[in-house]
Amino acid sequence: MSNSAAVPAEPRRGRPGYDRRGALEVAVRVFNEHGYDATSMGMLATRLGLSKSAIYHHFDSKEHLLEAALDEALGGLEQVLDEPGARRGTQTARLTYVVRRAVEVLVDRLPYVTLLLRLRGNTAVERAALERRRRFDDAVSALVRAAQVDGAVRADIDPAIATRLVFGMVNSLVEWYRPTGPEGARQQAGGLGRSPIVGAGQLADDVLALVLDGLRRR
């Protein structure tokens, strides 16, 4: 869970008085609205209700904000691979588990994962994050290959390509999905129109249905 219990969303009620994590949460939201590069420290300050220099009390630099956010996203994904469901069972079960959990992590840490998925590798921090992400992809790719050898997954698609296509679909969720619930679908900056309303569980079901069996009716 990336949010503790019932933390409010934007500028805290009452006085600001941010801690590191609270400031990060708001910053990441703004990064995702405008893009990391297009977001200035001035914009962050405005959204936080602080002066620019106050931000530097919490983070050494703009890039440190990015680094902290990316770690949040990558940590979540990497953990999935260590969970029992990803390490035991048939290859197909393991693969299914990882895809489902990846959707859940993505939804749970949506802003952090969104930021991760939009990196261009402009700096050392960004490149290190992309490298961690690549290692995750490689692990999933090995799962797909194993499932093919098992005979449970079609072997006429290259496993590396299948992995990229499947995670292309999963990752694209950050472009439109907004959690439902008390405050779901609140703001939709830069969006492509209203999100269909669906919970995280149903979403994972849909993704897996499509990935495993496709659109065509039989």
Say how far apart CA 72 and CA 196 lie, in whole Å: 27
Closest CA to 163 of 142, 133, 132: 142
Residues numbered 30-59 forming contacts with DNA, rule: CB under 7 A:
39-43, 45, 49-54, 56-58
122 binds DNA (CB under 7 A): no
Instruction: Tell me which stretch binds DNA (CB under 7 A): 18-26, 102-110, 112-120, 189-197.
Output: 18-26
Q: What are the backbone dihedrals phi and psi of residue 3, each rounded to the nearest 5 degrees, phi first?
A: -100, 135
Q: Which range of residues in 20-28, 33-41, 51-59, 68-76 is near its own copies by CB under 8 A?
A: 33-41
| C-alpha angle 32-33-35 in degrees, rounded to nearest 5 | 60
Interface with DNA: number of residues (CB under 7 A): 24
Q: Which of 48, 35, 198, 25 is nearest to 120 (CA)?
A: 35
Residue 181 Ramachandran class (φ > 0 left, ψ -120 to 50 alpha, else beta): left
* Interacting residues with its own copies between 143 and 172 (CB under 8 A): 144, 147, 151-158, 160-162, 164-172
Give the distance, in angstroms, between the CA of residue 14 and the centroid of all CA atoms in the same chain: 30
42-61 residues near its own copies, rule: CB under 8 A: none
Among residues 78, 160, 162, the alpha carbon closest in space to that of 112 is found at: 78
89-118 footprint of its own copies as x/- string (CB under 8 A): ---x-------------------------x
Nearer to its own copies by C-beta: 64 or 164? 164
Q: Of the two residues 50 and 153, which places its CB atom closer to DNA in the complex?
A: 50
> Which residues contribute to the site for DNA (CB under 7 A)?
16-19, 23, 39-43, 45, 49-54, 56-58, 60-63
